[in-house]
Amino acid sequence: MKAMVLNKLCRLEENNSPLELMELPDPFPSSEEILVKVSVCGVCHTELDEIEGRTPPPHLPIILGHQIVGRVEATGSRANTFKIGDRVGIAWIYSVCGMCKFCMVGNENLCQHFKATGRDVNGGYAQYMTVPEGFAYSIPQVFNDSEAAPLLCAGAIGYRSLRLTGIKDGQNLGLTGFGASGHLVLKMVRHLYPRAKIFVFARSAKERAFSLELGAVWAGDVVEKSPEKLNCIIDTTPAWKPVVEALKNIDSGGRLVINAIRKEEMDKDYLLRLAYPTHLWLEKEIKSVANITRKDVSEFLALAAKMGIKPEVQEFPLEQANKALFELKTKRIRGAKVLRID
């Protein structure tokens, strides 16, 4: 099979082609796994974190990618949920232990044995991959493959982040950063909380304009002051500066939810500007998002189908994975980027 493979960690400023197109043996499913012929795979900022070493894979080489849609090509001897030809999705959550205190109460995203697709095991930047059948999802027919792929991560993690804000209809929500996850959260909010007002903070003028097209009431730079105090903010950026700036805009008792697997070190000195009276006093909260559960993915897929939420998508052939990643790194974003494998 063809695959785009990460063989060594690097900074994209120094190497804008970190992935190598290689021919590899087709994988074979174990007894409880399915073999999936990949149709498309979404491109996520987490892949940049892997490539650049902020959340490095435990071993190299590795095939990245965790927003995967494809068809079942073969099933293991004990896999009986799906049949050959079924369309399935695969998300960031690849497997968990199923027995720890977190798994037992539905918080499998916190399992110490959590394995991530495309980081701990080979992912979807390839023609084929295997996955335990319990960690694959039926894709609603309303979505084509490219529309479905970003829902598996950007959508599902956005859904989890939105729930963690505790927002109520009529309140003000801020979105710091406006990439794949941010634009899906905006669409969700407009359906779930029609009286809520959405304020977007983004460095890119194009992202700000895009957010206004989708229904944001205001859009400004990350350092700007919002025209109204916000009840909650979701931060999806890889930097510290937007976090500190966002806290200035949160109302008393409000909550900042950080939806990022890692924060970059380049602007960590910005944390020195964090002042307790300005940023945290009056019962403001900061909460992080860690991974996703299978429930997050399945619930969001059903919700997105019911509401007709579809992402804006840019497609690239598999061989142009490096180009898609470089555009993501340099903030050339409108919606979600997806690799077409076939």
Q: pLDDT band at 342, cuts 50/70/90? A: confident
CATH code given to domain 2-152+292-340: 3.90.180.10
> What is the location of CATH 3.40.50.720 in the chain?
156-288
Which residues of the chain are in CATH 3.90.180.10 domains?
Answer: 2-152+292-340
- Indicate whether 312 pLDDT > 80: yes
Beta carbons within 8 Å of 265's beta carbon, 6+ residues apart: none
pLDDT tens digits for 80-98?
Answer: 999 999 999 999 999 999 9
Ranges of beta strands (E only) in the chain are 2-6, 19-23, 33-43, 62-63, 68-75, 87-90, 93-95, 115-116, 128-132, 136-138, 172-176, 197-201, 218-220, 230-235, 250-258, 285-288, 313-317, 336-340
Q: Give pLDDT, residue 330.
A: 85
What was the pLDDT predicted at 179?
82
- Which pLDDT value is given to residue 39? 98
For the domain covering 156-288, report its CATH number: 3.40.50.720
Q: How many CB atoms lie within 10 A of CB 121?
A: 20
**Angstrom distance (rounded) from CA 253 to CA 259:** 19
